[in-house]
Amino acid sequence: MNRLIHIVVAASFALVAVSFATVPAFGADRAKRKKASVADRSEIRTEPGKKFVYKQSAGTPQELEVYFPKGWSPSSAKVPGVLLFHGGGWTGGSLDQFRHACSYLASRGLVAATANYRMLPKSGREKLPAGESYKRVCVTDAKTAIRWMKQHADELGVDPKRIITGGGSAGGHVSVLATTNPGLNDPADPKEFDTTVAAYLLFNPAFTAADSADAEIDVLKHLKAGFLPAILFFGTKDDTWKPGSDTALQRLKSLGNTTTELWLAEGQAHGFFNRSPWQDVTLAAADRFLVERGFLKGDCTLAPPPSGEKLVKAP
């Protein structure tokens, strides 16, 4: 009997050992997923803003979160608004990415919002007709979000003629197409509200030559000399996405446009603006950009990083 007990106990310990031996594999898998998504998540955690559902898209509610200035009242003088779209490769991402930015911009006097948008699952992407990009649905919802903000300008206390838009990576791409491409509209959107905006905040926007396969989502097809004031941020080591924006900026320059600025973070890769200290460094530059164009007043309230990181303006 004692021998049988010893065998059972030994077998149990062996099973436990095998179980623990498998944990690193699962941990490594989680680490890979975390690494893949970290470029589109904010390092600074911020409480969500006031939630609104701006549409039902394919049966799924699409939301905005809105942050209001201190002492805000819809009956007060209307202020500029800003609407930022998260990144995530047109297939992922969350509102968390721009909560910190929206909270800060609201503290400076803007009504600041961040919105999600429809993204097709793999099964949906596989059913698309040849030549039709899965990015189209993202742009359509972004257009609805801009129209919603204009439609509700009175209750939000926003000047509908002074709305700034932008976003990070895929969100930057989506924001530009939503405001420059006359197509890809949702037939259910109120036609009396357009998607024109006053300026852009673009955090390593994901423009690429590969989009030329579908003109509806190709930024280069929709750029004009009158492109509105824009500030772009890139890391010098963002080898995947920076070339697309370089091409777009060259196109704008050839058209005679002089309203765009490119600021570079030396040695940084894609998504650098989500991490400290670059998150506040880019926000401070965006603040100065908005002050220079009359959307904000006063001085930036973000302190420079003690470690001395700085952006360099591209010629």
User: Which H helix or E strand runs over 24?
Assistant: helix 2-37
Tokens of 162: 């002074």
Residue 139 sits at φ, ψ, to 5 deg, of -65, -40
Task: Indicate which CATH number applies to the domain containing 151.
Answer: 3.40.50.1820
Residue 229 lies in a domain: yes
Q: What is the pLDDT of residues 167-179, one digit of tens each?
A: 999 999 999 999 9
Whether residue 23 has pLDDT greater than 50: no
CA atoms of 309 and 264, how far apart (whole Å): 11
Q: Are strands 158-168 and 199-203 parallel, antiparallel or unpaired?
A: parallel
Considering the domain boundaries, does residue 27 fall inside one? no
Q: What does the buried/exposed string (b/e) look like for 275-287 if buried means 16 or more CB atoms within 10 Å of the residue's CB?
A: eebbbbbbbbbbb
In a domain, 34, yes or no: no
- Does residue 33 form part of some domain? no
In a domain, 156, yes or no: yes
Count of domains for the chain: 1
Q: What is the pLDDT of residues 130-162, one digit of tens each?
A: 999 999 999 999 999 999 999 999 999 999 999
* Total-model pTM: 0.87
How far is it, in rounded angstroms, from Cα 121 to Cα 143? 20
Give domain status of residue 25, yes or no.
no
Start-to-end CA span in the chain (Å): 84
Confidence grade of residue 44 (pLDDT, cut at 50, 70, 90): confident
What does the alpha-carbon distance between residue 224 and residue 256 come to, in Å, rounded to a whole number?
Answer: 9
Q: Does 36 reside within a domain?
A: no
pLDDT tens, position by position, 260-293: 999 999 999 999 999 999 999 999 999 999 999 9
Q: Where are the alpha helices (DSSP H) in 79-213?
A: 99-107, 122-126, 136-151, 153-156, 170-180
Q: Write the CA distances from 68 to 108, 111, 113, 166, integer angstroms.
A: 10, 5, 9, 18
On whether residue 31 sits in a domain, the answer given is no
Other CB atoms within a 10 A radius of the CB of residue 145 amount to 26
Domain limits at 226? 41-313
Strands (E), 45-195: 50-57, 60-67, 79-85, 111-115, 158-168
* Closest of 190, 148, 117 to residue 54, by C-alpha: 148
Backbone angles phi, psi at 110, to 5 degrees: -95, 155
Residue 166 and residue 175 in contact, taking contact as beta carbons nearer than 8 Å: yes
